[in-house]
C-alpha cells in the first residue's frame, strides 16, 4: 500500500512538471472547406514557426469543430459568418479577425438525376445539416425561386455523410460544400448542382473566429497568424506555385490534385486589397458587415435562434488593417 | 453375563464391556442438548431436527446414521458451526460453541480441496491463516502429509490426485489445525468400493495414532459398524434420536469380522431401526409376469 | 434416405472430429470466404455491374471530377465518353474557326497528365510521379511514334490517333517539355477507357493487398501519422480504457459478489446505466475532458465498466460455496476468506471474463475514435470511407479483426499456463507452467529458509 501511494505521488509530480514545461500554444480548429484547408500550406511550410507564433491546428469535421470551440477546448475556429452567429446565440460568442474567402460556387445543393432545378424540389426530401451554412443556402435558394421553407422536408444529415445518403436514394437532394459535394456528384452519377453559392454571392463569408478572452490575452500572437495567412493567400495566387500548393491542399483531404483544382474557382480567397474593401461597413452583401446583418435577419425569420445578434460585436478588422504598411 | 432376553447384538464380551465403561468415564468432548432446527419454506415450517441430544466422549469414534431425510447432514453442519440451531445448545469440552472454527474440523464429501494450492499448501492453510509463520506451518504440514502417506505428492495439485488421495489430503488438512473434534460428512461416498475399503482401514489407523475425536456421518451400515464405537441412529420426519447403539465387535477391527455373527446382528438391528418391517421399503417388489419367460435364465 | 458412406465419418452426432479433420475444417473456415471473394472478383461474367476507369478525362459537361480508379455504372459510362467526345469536337471546331481559348496553356498541361495512370500501370512512370511533366511529355512522343506500346491497359485505336495528333502539335512546338512552350491552342482530350469491375465497395483481393501494402509501408507525410503510429494509438486507447475499467470494475464486482449489501446497493444502478448507449455521451465527454485522447478512453471505459461489474459479480457468486465453508472450518476470518479463498478461487474464471471483456472493449474502438479529433485507425477509415477508397479500408478492417482474434487466442492459451488446475491446459501450456514454476518455487523456499529463525529443528 505504501509503495502504491509513493508511486502515485511521484507520477502526479511528473505530470505536473510536464504541464509547466510547455506554454500553451494557440489552438485553432479547422475543417474541410477549401478556404480553411489553405491553412495547411502555412503549417507544412513552417511559416508559423518562422513568424514566431506557437499554434496548433486541430483537424475536425465542421460541426464538431464548432462543438469543440463552444466547449472551450480550442481558442479559435474557422466558421462561416452565419454559423458564428448561430454558435454565439446558443453558446459562445466569438470575434472574426480575418476573412479567408467568400463562397463562390463550392457550396451547393446537389439534386438526384431527374431534378433539373430547385423549383423541382417542391415536396421532396433534402439531406442537410440543420441550422448551419447549407441550410442557409437552401433557404436562400428556395426564397429566390418563390418557394417556402415548408415546401421541402429537411432530413438532418452530417455533411460528411451526404454523398452516401444521396447515393442510397434516401433523399432527393443534399446540401454540402466541396469536397463533400464533389463526392456526392461522383457517388450518384447524373446528379447535378441545382443551386450554388455562385447564384447568391456574398451570403457566405468564411472567417477565422477567435474567443474574446484569447484575443485579448494574445493580441500580438493573433496578429502574426493573420500575417501568415496573407503569405498563404499570395502564394496560392501565383501560378508557378499551383502544383505545389495543390499537392499540399489535396493531400490534406486525400484527393488527387486534379480533383482539387476545380475547387479554387468556387472558393474565392480574398487578396489583401479585396479583404480591406470587404471590411468596409456597408449594408450590401459586398461588405462582411452587410452580409452578417443579412444572415442575422434570415436566421431570425427562420427561427434558427430567437435573439437578434449584433454583427459589429462579431467582427474586428483591426488586426487585418494593422498589416497595411507592410502590404 | 448371558441372558436370553437381551438381544444378541447387545451381548458384550467382558473386554468390550470394560472398554465401554472406560469410554463413558472419559471427559465429554461434544455435548448436544435438545438441538432443534426449523426451516422456513414457502410451504410452511419444516422441522429438520427435533430435540436431538447425545454426548460424544474424548477419543471416541461415533457414527451417525439414519434413513434419507433424517437430517444427518444438517446435524453435522450445525455441529461444525456452518449453520445455527433454532433451539438447543452445543458444548465442546464444556465451552459453548457457535460459528465455525479450527477447533472443529470438517471433512466434506466432495473433498473441497483448494484447487489452486498444492497438497502442502492446502494442508498448511489452517495454520497459516491462524498466523503461524510460514516456515513452521510448512514443517507442520509435512508431518501431517507424511502421516497420510502422501509425502511424494506434496507439490502436486489436487487435480493430479485420485479420489482416495484427495480425501487423505482433506483429512490431513483438517487435522493440521489439531481440532478437538473432527466431523466427516460421508467422506468416502464418492469412492469406489476397493478404495473405500482401503480408506476405512486407513482412517482407523489415523484415529489410533492421533489424539482426535471423530463424528462420522454415513449411510452405509457396514461402514458404520466397522468403524465406530457407538452409532447414533436417527429417525426421519422430524429428525430425532432413535437409539444410540454400542458396537460390541471387539477392536482391533479387520475386514474378516464382517462375517462375524456379532457384526451381522448389530447390522441387522440397525437396519431394523432404520427400515422397520412393514414399511413400504421392506415389502417385496411385485413380481412381473411376462408372457414368455426364459427357462435358461431362471 | 441414409447418408452416403464417405460423409458418415464427418457427421457423427455429438462426437468430436479427429485432429486432422478439425484442422482441415479450420482452414476451410477462413479459405471459403476468401475463395468466394476471389470468384466474384475475378470471374468476369459474375456480377461486375460497373466500369473502372483506367484512363480519365476532365470535362465540364458532367458535374463531378472522375479520375483513374473511380467506378461508373455501365449506363453512365457512355454518357461520360460522349461528353468528352463533344469536348473534342468543340476543340476541333474552335481550331478551324481560329478562336483562341483562354487558359489553354494550363489546360494543356493538365491534359498531358491524363496519360499518367496508363503510364504507371504500364510501369513507365513510378507511382507518385503523376506530375512529372518532362517524363510524361516524352511518353506522349514515344506512344505517338510507336516506340512504346501500351499493353496493360492498351490504348484504344481512337486514343492512339488522338495521341499522334497531339504529338504532331507538341513536337512542332518543342521536343522536350517546357511550360512556356506549351501550345496556345487546346489539344484533344484522350477518350476515357475502362474495364468491367465490381462496385467500389467490393474491391478485388489483389487491390486490397496492394493498397494495404502501400499504406502500411508509407513513410510519414507532414503531420499525418503513419499506419504504424495510428495502430499504436488505437491500441493505447483500448488498453487504457480497459485498464481503467478493470481498476474500477473488478473490485466493485468482487465486492458485489461477496457481499449482498454491495450487490443490492450498486447492482440496480449499474444495470440501469448499462443500457444507456455509450455514444450518446460523446459530446458530453468532449465538453468535460479535452479534445484529444481523454474522451475516447472515457468512452471505452463507460462502454466496458458496467458490463464488467455485473459479470465479475456473477463469476464471484459462482464460486463453490463449499470452498468458503471449508475455509471457515479451517479457521479463516472474513477478510482472509476474501484474500485467501475468493480471490484465488475466481481467478481462472475472472481471467476468462476479462479476456471476453477485452474483446468487448475492442468493439468500442471505432466509435471512440470518432469523438473530437478523429485519430488512430478510425481516422484513416473515416476519411477513406468518405472518399470511397474501400481498397484502403479493407486492410485496416482486417487488421483490427486479426488483432482481436490473435490476442484472444494467445490469451486463451495462456489461461492454461497460468491456471494449470482449471483443466484448460494442453501439453505445451503444462510444460511452460512447469518450467516457470520450478525456479519460482525454489526461490521462495530459499528465501524462506534464509529468513528462518535459527532455532528451527
Boundaries of every domain in chain B = 109-178
Q: Which residue has the cell 482530350?
A: C189
Going by pLDDT thresholds of 50, 70 and 90, the confidence category of residue A21 is very low
Strand order in the sheet with B87-92: B44-57, B28-41, B87-92, B95-96
**Torsion angle of alpha carbons B151, B156, B161, B163, nearest 10°?**
70
Task: Give the phi and the psi of residue A75 in degrees, each rounded to 5.
Answer: -85, -25
Q: What would the 3-class secondary structure string for A163-202 be?
A: HHHHHCCCCCEEEEECCHHHHHHHHCCCCEEEEEHHHCCC
Please say whether the beta carbons of C351 and B124 come within 8 A: no
A and C: touch, per 3+ CB pairs < 8 A?
A: yes
Which helix (H) or strand (E) element contains residue C251?
helix C227-258
Task: Give the phi and the psi of residue C295 in degrees, each rounded to 5.
Answer: -65, -30
Going by pLDDT thresholds of 50, 70 and 90, the confidence category of residue A3 is low
- Mean pLDDT of successive 10-residue segments in chain B (298 residues)? 54 82 88 89 86 91 87 89 89 86 88 91 92 89 90 90 91 91 91 89 90 92 91 86 85 82 85 76 61 69
Q: Does C420 touch chain B (CB under 8 A)?
A: yes
**Average of per-residue pLDDT across A91-98:** 90
Quick one: cell of C364? Answer: 468500442
Cβ-based contacts of C72 with chain A (< 8 Å): 189
- pLDDT number for residue A213: 92
Give chains near B: 3+ CB pairs under 8 A.
C
- pLDDT number for residue B284: 59
Give the side-chain half-sphere CA count within 13 A for A283: 1
CB-nearest to A192 from C63, C283, C286 is C63
H helix runs in C275-339, sequence order: 282-288, 294-317, 321-329, 334-336
Whether C1 has a pLDDT exceeding 60, the answer reads no
Give chains near C: 3+ CB pairs under 8 A.
A, B
Q: What's the DSSP call for residue B9?
A: G
All structural domains of chain C, each given as residue ranges with its CATH number in brackets, are 1-46 (no CATH), 50-197 (no CATH), 227-418 (1.10.3720.10)
Q: What's the DSSP call for residue C373?
A: S
- pLDDT number for residue C441: 73
First to last CA, chain A: 66
Whether C254 has a pLDDT exceeding 80, the answer reads yes
Whether A96 has a pLDDT exceeding 60, the answer reads yes
Closest CA to C404 of C351, C363, C354: C363
Going by pLDDT thresholds of 50, 70 and 90, the confidence category of residue A20 is very low
- pLDDT number for residue B114: 94
Q: Does B82 touch chain C (CB under 8 A)?
A: yes
All structural domains of chain A, each given as residue ranges with its CATH number in brackets, are 25-103+204-321 (3.40.190.10), 107-199 (3.40.190.10)
Q: Cβ B101–C452 below 8 Å, yes or no? A: no
pLDDT, greater one: B191 or C457: B191
Cβ-based contacts of B101 with chain C (< 8 Å): 328-329, 331
Closest residue on chain B to C336 (Cα): B129
Cβ-based contacts of B126 with chain C (< 8 Å): 330-331
Closest CA to B37 of B50, B53, B18: B50
Q: What is the pTM of this model?
A: 0.77
- pLDDT number for residue C82: 93
Chains A and C form CB pairs within 8 A to the count of 86
CB contacts under 8 A, C 345-404 vs B, are 345, 347
**ipTM score assigned to the predicted complex:** 0.85
Cβ-based contacts of B177 with chain C (< 8 Å): 330-331
Strand order in the sheet with A76-80: A55-59, A26-30, A76-80, A205-210, A95-103, A267-269
Distance separating alpha carbons of residues B149 and C278, to the nearest angstrom = 59
Distances (CA, A) of C112 to A258, A261, C96, C103, C118: 12, 15, 22, 14, 12
- pLDDT number for residue A12: 54
CB contacts under 8 A, B 165-184 vs C, are 173-174, 177
B and A: touch, per 3+ CB pairs < 8 A?
A: no
Q: Does A24 touch chain C (CB under 8 A)?
A: no
Q: Is B154 helix (H, G, I), strand (E, B) or coil?
A: coil
Greatest alpha-carbon pair distance for chain B in Å reads 75
Please say whether the beta carbons of A59 and C291 come within 8 A: no
Distance from CA of C269 to the nearest CA of A (A): 29
Q: What share of chain A is helix, strand, coil (3-state, %, to 5)?
A: 50, 15, 30
Distance separating alpha carbons of residues C452 and C457, to the nearest angstrom = 11
- pLDDT number for residue C440: 77
Chains B and C form CB pairs within 8 A to the count of 81
Quick one: cell of B92? Answer: 465442546
Closest CA to B19 of B261, B246, B255, B200: B246
Which helix (H) or strand (E) element contains residue B123?
helix B119-129
H helix runs in C370-426, sequence order: 376-386, 390-418
Using one digit for the tens of pLDDT, what is the confidence trace for A152-203?
A: 999 999 998 898 899 888 999 999 998 889 888 888 888 999 999 999 888 8
- pLDDT number for residue C193: 92
Distance separating alpha carbons of residues A261 and C56, to the nearest angstrom = 15
B186 forms bridges with which residues in the sheet?
Answer: none
Distance from CA of B235 to the nearest CA of C (A): 27
**Torsion angle of alpha carbons C201, C206, C212, C217, nearest 10°?**
-150
Using one digit for the tens of pLDDT, what is the confidence trace for C357-407?
A: 999 899 898 888 888 777 888 888 888 887 778 889 999 999 999 999 999
Distance from CA of C442 to the nearest CA of B (A): 12
Distance separating alpha carbons of residues B108 and B124, to the nearest angstrom = 18
Helix-then-strand count for chain C, H and E: 19, 3
- pLDDT number for residue C351: 94
Cβ-based contacts of C332 with chain B (< 8 Å): 125, 129
Closest CA to B53 of B203, B213, B243: B243
- pLDDT number for residue B280: 61
Q: Does A182 touch chain C (CB under 8 A)?
A: yes
Q: Does C328 touch chain B (CB under 8 A)?
A: yes
Distance from CA of A136 to the nearest CA of C (A): 23
Mean confidence (pLDDT) of chain A: 87
Q: Does B104 touch chain C (CB under 8 A)?
A: yes
Cβ-based contacts of C340 with chain B (< 8 Å): 125, 129
Q: Cβ B129–C340 below 8 Å, yes or no? A: yes
Closest CA to B160 of B109, B115, B194: B115
Using one digit for the tens of pLDDT, what is the confidence trace for A250-299?
A: 888 878 888 888 888 889 999 999 999 999 998 888 899 999 998 898 88
- pLDDT number for residue C2: 63
- pLDDT number for residue A157: 92
Q: Cβ B130–C456 below 8 Å, yes or no? A: no
User: Cα C97 to the chain's mean position, in Å?
Assistant: 56
**Average of per-residue pLDDT across C30-59:** 90
Return the exposure string of C431-441: e unless at least 16 CB atoms fall within 10 Å of the residue's CB, then b: ebbeeeeeeee
Distance separating alpha carbons of residues A22 and A19, to the nearest angstrom = 6
Please say whether the beta carbons of A57 and A78 come within 8 A: no
Q: Cβ B81–C329 below 8 Å, yes or no? A: yes
**Torsion angle of alpha carbons A110, A115, A119, A125, nearest 10°?**
-70
Whether A84 has a pLDDT exceeding 60, the answer reads yes
Amino acid at each position: 500500500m505504501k509503495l502504491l501511494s509513493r508511486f502515485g505521488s511521484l507520477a502526479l509530480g511528473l505530470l505536473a512538471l510536464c504541464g509547466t514545461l510547455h506554454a500553451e500554444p494557440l489552438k485553432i480548429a479547422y475543417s474541410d472547406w477549401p478556404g480553411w484547408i489553405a491553412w495547411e500550406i502555412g503549417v507544412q511550410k513552417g511559416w508559423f514557426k518562422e513568424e514566431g507564433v506557437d499554434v496548433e491546428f486541430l483537424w475536425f469535421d465542421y460541426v464538431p469543430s464548432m462543438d469543440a470551440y463552444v466547449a472551450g477546448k480550442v481558442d479559435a475556429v474557422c466558421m462561416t459568418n452565419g454559423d458564428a452567429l448561430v454558435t454565439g446565440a446558443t453558446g459562445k460568442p466569438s470575434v472574426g479577425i480575418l476573412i479567408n474567402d467568400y463562397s463562390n460556387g463550392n457550396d451547393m445543393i446537389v439534386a438526384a438525376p431527374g431534378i433539373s432545378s430547385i423549383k423541382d424540389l417542391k415536396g421532396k426530401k433534402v439531406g442537410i445539416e440543420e441550422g448551419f451554412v447549407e441550410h442557409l443556402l437552401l433557404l436562400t435558394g428556395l426564397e429566390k425561386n418563390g418557394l417556402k421553407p415548408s415546401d421541402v422536408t429537411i432530413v438532418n444529415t452530417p455533411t460528411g455523410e451526404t454523398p452516401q445518403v444521396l447515393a442510397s436514394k434516401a433523399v432527393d437532394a443534399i446540401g454540402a460544400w466541396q469536397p463533400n459535394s464533389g463526392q456526392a456528384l461522383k457517388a450518384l452519377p447524373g446528379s447535378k448542382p441545382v443551386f450554388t453559392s455562385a447564384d447568391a454571392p456574398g451570403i457566405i463569408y468564411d472567417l477565422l473566429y477567435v474567443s474574446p478572452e484569447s484575443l485579448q490575452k494574445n493580441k500580438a500572437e493573433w496578429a502574426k497568424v493573420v500575417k501568415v495567412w496573407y503569405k498563404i493567400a499570395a502564394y496560392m495566387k501565383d501560378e508557378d506555385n499551383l502544383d505545389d500548393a495543390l499537392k499540399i491542399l489535396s493531400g490534406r483531404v486525400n484527393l488527387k490534385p486534379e480533383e482539387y483544382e476545380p475547387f479554387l474557382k468556387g472558393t474565392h480567397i480574398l487578396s489583401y486589397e479585396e479583404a480591406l474593401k470587404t471590411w468596409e461597413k456597408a449594408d450590401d452583401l459586398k461588405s462582411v458587415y452587410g452580409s452578417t446583418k443579412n444572415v442575422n435577419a434570415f436566421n431570425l425569420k427562420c427561427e434558427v435562434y430567437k435573439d437578434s445578434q449584433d454583427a459589429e460585436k462579431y467582427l474586428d478588422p483591426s488586426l487585418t488593417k494593422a498589416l497595411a504598411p507592410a502590404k | 453375563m448371558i441372558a436370553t432376553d437381551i438381544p444378541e447384538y447387545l451381548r458384550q464380551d467382558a473386554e468390550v464391556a470394560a472398554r465401554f465403561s472406560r469410554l463413558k468415564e472419559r471427559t465429554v468432548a461434544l455435548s448436544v442438548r435438545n438441538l432443534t432446527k426449523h426451516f422456513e419454506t414457502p410451504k410452511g415450517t419444516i422441522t429438520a431436527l427435533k430435540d436431538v441430544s447425545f454426548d460424544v466422549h474424548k477419543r471416541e469414534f461415533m457414527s451417525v446414521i439414519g434413513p434419507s431425510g433424517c437430517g444427518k447432514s444438517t446435524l453435522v453442519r450445525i455441529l461444525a458451526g456452518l449453520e445455527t440451531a433454532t433451539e438447543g445448545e452445543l458444548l465442546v469440552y464444556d465451552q459453548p460453541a457457535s460459528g465455525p472454527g479450527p477447533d472443529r474440523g470438517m471433512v466434506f464429501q466432495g473433498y473441497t480441496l483448494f484447487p489452486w494450492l498444492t497438497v502442502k499448501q492446502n494442508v498448511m492453510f489452517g495454520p497459516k491463516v491462524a498466523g503461524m509463520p510460514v516456515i513452521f506451518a510448512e514443517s507442520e504440514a509435512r508431518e501431517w502429509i507424511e502421516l497420510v502417506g502422501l509425502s511424494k505428492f506434496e507439490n502436486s495439485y489436487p487435480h493430479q490426485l485420485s479420489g482416495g488421495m484427495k480425501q487423505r489430503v482433506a483429512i490431513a488438512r483438517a487435522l493440521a489445525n489439531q481440532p478437538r473434534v473432527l466431523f466427516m460428512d460421508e467422506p468416502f461416498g464418492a469412492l469406489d468400493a476397493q478404495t473405500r475399503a482401503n480408506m476405512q482401514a486407513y482412517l482407523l489407523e489415523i484415529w489410533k495414532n492421533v489424539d482426535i475425536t471423530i463424528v462420522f456421518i454415513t449411510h452405509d451400515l457396514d461402514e458404520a459398524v466397522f468403524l465406530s464405537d457407538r452409532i447414533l441412529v436417527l429417525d426421519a420426519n422430524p429428525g430425532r434420536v432413535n437409539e444410540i447403539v454400542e458396537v460390541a465387535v471387539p477392536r482391533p477391527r479387520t475386514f474378516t469380522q464382517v462375517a462375524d455373527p456379532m457384526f451381522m446382528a448389530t447390522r441387522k438391528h440397525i437396519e431394523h431401526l432404520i427400515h422397520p418391517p412393514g414399511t413400504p421399503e421392506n415389502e417385496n417388489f411385485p413380481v412381473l409376469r411376462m408372457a414368455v419367460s426364459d427357462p435358461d435364465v431362471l | 434416405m441414409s447418408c452416403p458412406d464417405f460423409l458418415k465419418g464427418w457427421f457423427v452426432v455429438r462426437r468430436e472430429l479427429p485432429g486432422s479433420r478439425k484442422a482441415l475444417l479450420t482452414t476451410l473456415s477462413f479459405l471459403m470466404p476468401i475463395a468466394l471473394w476471389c470468384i466474384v472478383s475475378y470471374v468476369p461474367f459474375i456480377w461486375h455491374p460497373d466500369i473502372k476507369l483506367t484512363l480519365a478525362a476532365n470535362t465540364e459537361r458532367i458535374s463531378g471530377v472522375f479520375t483513374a480508379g473511380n467506378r461508373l455504372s455501365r449506363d453512365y459510362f457512355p454518357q461520360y465518353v460522349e461528353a468528352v467526345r463533344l469536348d473534342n469536337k468543340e476543340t476541333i471546331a474552335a481550331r478551324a474557326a481560329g478562336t483562341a481559348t483562354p487558359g489553354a496553356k494550363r489546360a494543356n498541361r493538365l491534359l498531358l497528365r491524363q496519360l499518367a495512370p496508363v503510364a504507371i500501370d504500364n510501369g513507365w512512370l513510378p507511382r507518385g510521379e503523376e506530375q512529372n511533366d518532362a517524363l510524361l511529355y516524352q511518353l506522349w512522343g514515344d506512344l505517338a511514334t510507336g516506340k512504346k506500346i501500351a499493353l496493360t491497359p492498351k490504348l484504344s485505336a481512337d486514343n492512339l490517333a488522338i495521341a499522334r495528333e497531339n504529338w504532331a502539335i507538341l513536337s512542332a512546338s518543342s521536343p522536350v517539355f517546357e511550360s512556356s512552350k506549351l501550345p496556345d491552342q487546346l489539344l484533344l482530350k484522350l477518350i476515357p477507357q475502362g474495364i468491367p469491375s465490381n462496385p467500389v465497395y467490393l474491391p478485388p483481393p489483389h487491390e486490397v493487398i496492394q493498397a494495404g501494402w502501400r499504406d502500411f509501408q508509407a513513410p510519414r507525410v507532414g503531420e499525418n501519422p503513419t499506419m504504424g503510429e495510428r495502430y499504436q494509438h488505437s491500441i493505447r486507447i483500448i488498453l487504457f480504457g480497459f485498464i481503467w475499467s478493470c481498476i474500477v470494475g473488478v473490485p466493485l464486482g468482487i465486492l458485489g459478489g461477496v457481499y449482498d449489501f454491495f450487490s443490492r446497493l450498486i447492482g440496480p444502478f449499474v444495470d440501469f446505466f448499462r443500457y444507456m448507449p455509450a455514444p450518446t455521451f460523446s459530446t458530453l465527454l468532449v465538453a468535460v475532458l479535452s479534445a484529444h485522447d481523454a474522451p475516447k478512453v472515457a468512452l471505452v471505459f463507460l462502454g466496458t465498466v458496467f458490463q464488467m461489474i455485473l459479470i465479475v459479480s456473477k463469476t464471484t457468486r459462482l464460486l463453490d460455496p463449499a470452498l468458503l465453508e471449508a475455509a471457515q472450518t479451517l479457521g479463516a476470518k472474513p477478510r482472509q476468506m476474501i484474500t485467501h479463498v475468493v480471490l484465488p478461487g475466481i481467478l481462472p474464471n475472472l481471467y476468462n471474463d476479462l479476456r471476453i471483456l477485452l474483446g468487448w472493449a475492442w468493439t468500442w474502438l471505432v466509435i471512440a475514435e470518432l469523438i473530437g479529433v478523429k485519430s488512430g485507425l478510425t481516422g484513416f477509415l473515416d476519411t477513406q470511407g468518405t472518399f470511397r477508397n474501400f481498397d484502403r479500408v479493407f486492410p485496416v478492417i482486417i487488421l483490427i479483426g486479426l488483432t482481436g482474434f490473435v490476442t484472444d487466442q494467445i490469451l486463451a492459451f495462456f489461461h492454461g499456463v497460468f491456471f494449470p488446475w482449471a483443466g484448460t491446459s494442453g501439453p505445451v501450456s503444462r510444460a511452460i507452467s512447469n518450467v516457470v514454476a520450478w525456479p519460482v518455487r525454489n526461490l521462495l523456499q530459499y528465501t524462506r529458509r534464509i529468513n528462518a529463525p535459527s532455532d528451527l529443528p
